[in-house]
């Protein structure tokens, strides 16, 4: 081996070593940054009141954002229970009941917090929609949120999809179905 071949070999090896070192440093920094950002707590923003959430739901729940039997009775612009002439017959902690001569509606609070990890507080409810004299009976799980101080409470996820959960069929899943638009949001741990 002549001097040029030795120099080229050393320089080539040194270049590879330097490249490996840069890659290793980059990899270590990436792992450290990722673990630090995952460990950072994020603050959940809430546009719902801390107390009297039941009254807030009665006043601000937009009935047009989820499936319910009130749909056929609504005219354009009718969005809330009050627009339908419905007043709660019972409000207790975590439960709201609307009962008429022919229908029974019940909202039970299941969970409150940032359920879908988007940084905005949500409330998960179980909505019972029952015809007193007929056979219509469904019980759905909905994820509700407010996107600003003056926005309505809207359904952004529901469950189960394509069916209903009732005490008559307890084997059906209660898992939430997250719309595709919500699935694309990055999850924050």
84/164 same-domain check: yes
Q: Edge-to-edge strand order for the sheet containing 137-145?
A: 90-92, 95-99, 103-113, 122-131, 137-145, 154-159
Which whole number is the average pLDDT over 153-178? Answer: 53
Q: How far apart are CA 93 and CA 52, in angstroms?
A: 8
pLDDT in tens, 80-123: 999 999 999 999 999 999 999 999 999 999 999 998 888 999 99
pLDDT, position 169 = 38
**Cis peptide before 68, with omega less than 30 degrees from 0?**
no
Clarify whether residues 149 and 66 are in a common domain. Answer: yes
Q: Is residue 13 part of a domain?
A: yes
Q: According to the model, what pLDDT value does residue 154 have?
A: 94
* 87 and 151, same domain (yes or no): yes
122, part of any domain: yes
Q: What is the distance between the alpha carbons of residues 21 and 120, in angstroms, rounded to a whole number?
A: 42
Burial of 16: CB neighbours in 10 Å, binned 0-12, 13-18, 19+: exposed
Query: Does one domain contain both 36 and 57?
Result: no
- Please report, rounded to a whole number, the percentage of residues in the chain having pLDDT higher than 90: 44
Residue 171 has pLDDT above 70, yes or no: no
Query: 24 and 71, same structural domain?
Result: no
Does residue 149 share a domain with residue 72?
yes
45 located within any domain: no
**What does DSSP say about strands 95-99 and 90-92: parallel, antiparallel, or unpaired?**
antiparallel
**Same domain (yes/no): 34, 120:** no
For residue 75, pLDDT beyond 50: yes
Torsion of CA 29, 189, 145, 87, to 10 degrees: -160
Give the structural domain span for 128: 53-183
Domain count of the chain? Answer: 2
Rounded average pLDDT over 61-78: 88
Q: What tens digit of pLDDT does each residue of 12-56 get?
A: 555 566 666 665 555 565 555 554 444 445 688 999 999 999 999
Strand partners, 45: 120
Residue 33: per-residue pLDDT = 53
């Amino acid at each position: 081996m002549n001097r040029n071949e030795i120099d080229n070999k050393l320089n080539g090896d040194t270049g590879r070593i330097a490249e490996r070192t840069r890659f290793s440093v980059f990899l270590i920094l990436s792992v450290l940054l990722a673990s630090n950002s995952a460990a950072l707590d994020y603050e959940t923003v809430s546009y719902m009141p801390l107390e009297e959430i039941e009254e807030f739901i009665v006043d601000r729940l937009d009935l047009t954002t989820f499936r319910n039997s009130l749909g056929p009775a609504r005219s354009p612009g009718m969005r809330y229970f009050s627009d339908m002439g419905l007043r709660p017959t019972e409000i207790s902690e975590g439960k709201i009941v609307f009962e008429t001569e022919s229908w029974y509606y019940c909202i039970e609070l299941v969970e409150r917090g940032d359920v879908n990890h988007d940084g905005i507080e949500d409330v998960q409810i179980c909505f019972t929609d029952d015809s007193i004299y007929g056979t219509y009976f469904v019980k759905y799980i909905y994820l509700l949120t407010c996107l600003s101080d003056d926005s309505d409470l809207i359904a952004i996820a529901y469950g189960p999809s394509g069916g209903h959960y009732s005490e008559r069929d307890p084997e059906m899943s209660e898992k939430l179905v997250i719309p595709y638009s919500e699935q694309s949001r990055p999850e924050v741990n």
